Every structure is written in structure tokens, then in C-alpha cells.
């Protein structure tokens, strides 16, 4: 009958295999590696970086002012000779510089409205998730109700009500788009609250705030990053819808939506006025969607959307 004390100690497992240094990988590193393998996301990130640079620095480098009307070249197609590489619109304004300037507005609205969305969504969701019970049920019911309604109507109403001030656009759009974020954050908070490592922390006497800071927040970070990246294109889209309807940013400011709207007017005679801003807008949305998708797959690998 063998007793454990009788079994001789044998060579350590790793040494016998010849494997000496098994370095562990943190979940963040794992996620990073997965992200890098997603070619679509990586290419999109490069394109977006290029887009940012173009939009920020482009107008400074191009010789034309966005509201400069070049009477020699009204509605002229793209050509290197005229100096208007992407053509001009009906009153002779250079399309490229207008598109890049419009990009500044569109992207800025995208970022700021997303931040508004983020703040509202995260606080709402985390509160609902952390407190649970009746408060959670009521809060989520409200989200369900709002989710079921056509957002466009409310945004239009808001714009009509409050006028077309740019700050209000941020707020209006952000106020509509926080729902997804709230739902996700609430779900994550709920599941985190009940995890064993939080229980263990509580058992060791770690206070509520410390738990939130050290355990819950880093785990929320992942989902928040994903949804921020996915919210940005949604918000840009809403802003461009508004601009298209004439309810967005006021002249002389212009965004991609407004440019597309203008371009659609002249599309038969000057299709480039439609195509150039459309391409910029579409490429931006396309890339952000891929990046968001890639982030989601990297942080939560499942073969879904």
C-alpha cells in the first residue's frame, strides 16, 4: 500500500519537458494580440489615423480657404491644372478643403456627443447594475421604453425646440445614444458584482469604493471601450442626418451631412460635389465600425457580429 510519503520526489515537470520559462499573459495582452491579428481592424485604424491627420492639418496646408469663392472655376470637375484637386462647387468653393473642414465638425461632434453618451450611459448603467432590485428594474424599463421609440423624431423635435446651436447638437445626440451603453454597463456591473473575486474582496474587508475602483472599473473598461468605438459612427450618422435635413450645424460651419445634402442638389451637373464628401463620410463610418467590431472580438472572442 503506497503512502504519499513513500513516493520518491521525481524531477520537476517543467525541467523534464525542457520547458523552462512559461510566461503568463494578462487578458489585456491576449486581447491586444487578438486585435492585431484582425486585419480589417488594423487597416481601419491606420486609415482613421490618416483621416484625423488630414482633417486636422489638411486645411492648413491647402492654399484655398473653405469659403473662398473662385469665380474662375465654378462647378469645375477635379483636375490638377485648376489647383482644385477635388473640384469646386456651384459657387467655386474648393471641395477638398470644404470636405476636410466639414470633417473637423463631423468628427468633433462624433467625439463630444460620444463623451456625453458615455457619461450618461455609464453612470446610469453602473448605478442600475450596482443597486439592483427595484431601482434596477425601473431604470431598465425606462431604457426599454425609450429604446422602442424612433430616435429620429426626438432628435428632430429637440433641434426644432432648441435651435441649431452646436453645443445643443452634442447634447441632443448624446442624450439619445446613451441607451446601448447603459444597457451594456449595467449588464457588466451586475455580473461583476456577483463574481467570486468581488466576494472574496468583500470577505477580506475591502471597502465598497475600493472595490469599485480596483475590481469593477478595470473590468468595465473593456466593454466601455468597445461601445465608445461603436457609438462614434452612430453619432456621426445622426449628426449627418440632421445636417442633411437642414437641422444641423449652422452656416458658415459645415459638416459632411450638409455637404452631401448640397452635393445631392447638384449631383447631375457636378457629381463630384456629392461623391467626395460621401466617400469621406462612408469610409469613416466603415472604419470605425470595423475597429469597434475588432475590439469587441478581441475582448470577448466569440464569432458574432
Partner 1 sequence: MIQDSGMARHALWRLLGLIPTLLMLITVAFFLMRVAPGGPFDTEKLLPDDIEANLNARYHLDEPLLQQYFRYLGQVAVFDFGPSIQYKDWTVNELIRQGMPVSLTIGVAAMVLAFIFGTLLGITAALRQNTRADYALMGVAMLGISIPNFVVAPILILLLAVYAGWLPAGGWDWSIASMVLPVVTLSLPVTAYIARLTRGSMIEVMHSNFIRSARAKGLPESVVIRRHALRPALLPVISFLGPATAGMISGSVIIERIFSIPGLGSYFVQGALNRDYTLVMGVVIFYGVLIILLNFLVDMIYAWLNPRVRYDKKR
Partner 2 sequence: MALLEVKDLDVGFDTPEGEVHAVNHLEFSLEAGDTLALVGESGSGKTQTVMGILGLLAENGHASGQALFKGKDLLQMNSLELNQHRGSEIAMIFQDPMTSLNPYLRIEKQMIEVVMHHGGLKKAEARTKAVELLRAVRIADPERIIRQYPHELSGGMRQKVMVAMGLLSEPELLIADEPTAALDVTVKAQITHLMSELRKKSNAAIILISHDLGIVAGLCDRVLVMYAGEAVECGSVDQIYYEPKHPYTQGLLNSVPRLDRPDDTEMVAIPGNPPNLLSLPGGCKFRDRCPKAFDACTQSPPMQVGQDLHAYRCFLGVPT
**Is residue 289 a contact point for partner 1 (CB under 8 A)?**
yes
141-146: long-range contacts, CB 8 A cutoff, minimum separation 24: 143/179, 143/182, 143/183, 146/179
Listed ranges 80-88, 102-110, 138-146, 166-174: which one lies at the site for partner 1 (CB under 8 A): 138-146
Which letter does DSSP use for residue 6 in this model? G
Among 148, 167, 203, 204, binds partner 1 (CB under 8 A): 148
Over the Cα atoms of the chain, what is R_g?
Answer: 26
Cα dihedral 300, 303, 304, 305 sign: positive
- Subset of 228-267 contacting partner 1 (CB under 8 A): 233, 237, 240-241, 244-245, 257, 260-261, 263-264, 267
Q: Which does 13 bind (CB under 5 to 8 A by kind): partner 2, partner 1, none?
A: partner 2
The whole-angstrom separation of Cα 258 and Cα 302 is 38
Grid cell in block for residue 21: 520559462
Q: Which residue has the cell 481601419?
A: 44
- The DSSP bridge partners found for residue 172 are none
**Is residue 196 a contact point for partner 1 (CB under 8 A)?**
no
In this complex, which beta carbon is closest to partner 1, that of residue 212 or of residue 267?
A: 267
In this complex, which beta carbon is closest to partner 2, that of residue 16 or of residue 305?
A: 16
**Is residue 285 a contact point for partner 1 (CB under 8 A)?**
yes
Contact 175, 116 (CB under 8 A): yes
Among 281, 291, 295, 299, binds partner 1 (CB under 8 A): 281
Cα dihedral 208, 137, 157, 100 sign: positive
Q: Which does 241 bind (CB under 5 to 8 A by kind): partner 2, partner 1, none?
A: partner 1
**Is residue 152 a contact point for partner 1 (CB under 8 A)?**
yes
Q: Which does 282 bind (CB under 5 to 8 A by kind): partner 1, partner 2, none?
A: partner 1
**Is residue 35 a contact point for partner 1 (CB under 8 A)?**
no
| Neighbour tally for 241: CB within 10 Å | 17
Minimum Å gap between C-beta 2 and partner 1 is: 39
Which residues of the chain form contacts with partner 2 (CB under 8 A)? Answer: 1-4, 7-8, 10-11, 13, 16-19
What are the φ and ψ backbone dihedral angles of 54, each rounded to 5 degrees? -60, -45
In this complex, which beta carbon is closest to partner 2, that of residue 5 or of residue 134?
A: 5
Minimum Å gap between C-beta 10 and partner 2 is: 6
**Is residue 174 a contact point for partner 1 (CB under 8 A)?**
no
The H or E element spanning position 246 is none
The whole-angstrom separation of Cα 69 and Cα 45 is 35
Q: Give residues with Cβ within 8 angstroms of 70, minimum separation 6.
A: 64, 84, 88, 92, 93, 94
The residues of the shown chain that bind partner 1, judged by CB under 8 A, are 40, 141, 144-145, 147-154, 156-158, 160-163, 233, 237, 240-241, 244-245, 257, 260-261, 263-264, 267-268, 271, 274-275, 278, 281-282, 285-286, 289-290, 293, 302-305
Amino acid at each position: 500500500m503506497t503512502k504519499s510519503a513513500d513516493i520518491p520526489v521525481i524531477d520537476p515537470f517543467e525541467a523534464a519537458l525542457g520547458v523552462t520559462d512559461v510566461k503568463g499573459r494578462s487578458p489585456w495582452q491576449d486581447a491586444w494580440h487578438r486585435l492585431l491579428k484582425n486585419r480589417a481592424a488594423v487597416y481601419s485604424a491606420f486609415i482613421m489615423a490618416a483621416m484625423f491627420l488630414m482633417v486636422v492639418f489638411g486645411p492648413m496646408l491647402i492654399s484655398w480657404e473653405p469659403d473662398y469663392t473662385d469665380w474662375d472655376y465654378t462647378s469645375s470637375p477635379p483636375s490638377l491644372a485648376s489647383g482644385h484637386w477635388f473640384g469646386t462647387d456651384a459657387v467655386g468653393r474648393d471641395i477638398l478643403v470644404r470636405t476636410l473642414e466639414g470633417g473637423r465638425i463631423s468628427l468633433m461632434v462624433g467625439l463630444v456627443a460620444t463623451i456625453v453618451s458615455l457619461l450618461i450611459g455609464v453612470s446610469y448603467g453602473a448605478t442600475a447594475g450596482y443597486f439592483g432590485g427595484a431601482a434596477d428594474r425601473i431604470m431598465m424599463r425606462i431604457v426599454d421604453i425609450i429604446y422602442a421609440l424612433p430616435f429620429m423624431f426626438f432628435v428632430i423635435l429637440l433641434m426644432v425646440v432648441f435651435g441649431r446651436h452646436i453645443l445643443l447638437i452634442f447634447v441632443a445626440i448624446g442624450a439619445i445614444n446613451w441607451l446601448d451603453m447603459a444597457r451594456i454597463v449595467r449588464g457588466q456591473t451586475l455580473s461583476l458584482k456577483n463574481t467570486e473575486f468581488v466576494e472574496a474582496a468583500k470577505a477580506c474587508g475591502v471597502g465598497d469604493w475600493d472595490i469599485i475602483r480596483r475590481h469593477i472599473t478595470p473590468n468595465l473598461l473593456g466593454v466601455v471601450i468597445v461601445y465608445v468605438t461603436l457609438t462614434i459612427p452612430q453619432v456621426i450618422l445622426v449628426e449627418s442626418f440632421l445636417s442633411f435635413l437642414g437641422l444641423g450645424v449652422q452656416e458658415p460651419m459645415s459638416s459632411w451631412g450638409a455637404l452631401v445634402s448640397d452635393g445631392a442638389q447638384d449631383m447631375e451637373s457636378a457629381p463630384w460635389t456629392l461623391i467626395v464628401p460621401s466617400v469621406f463620410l462612408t469610409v469613416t463610418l466603415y472604419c470605425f465600425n470595423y475597429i469597434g467590431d475588432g475590439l469587441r472580438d478581441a475582448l470577448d472572442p466569440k464569432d458574432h457580429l
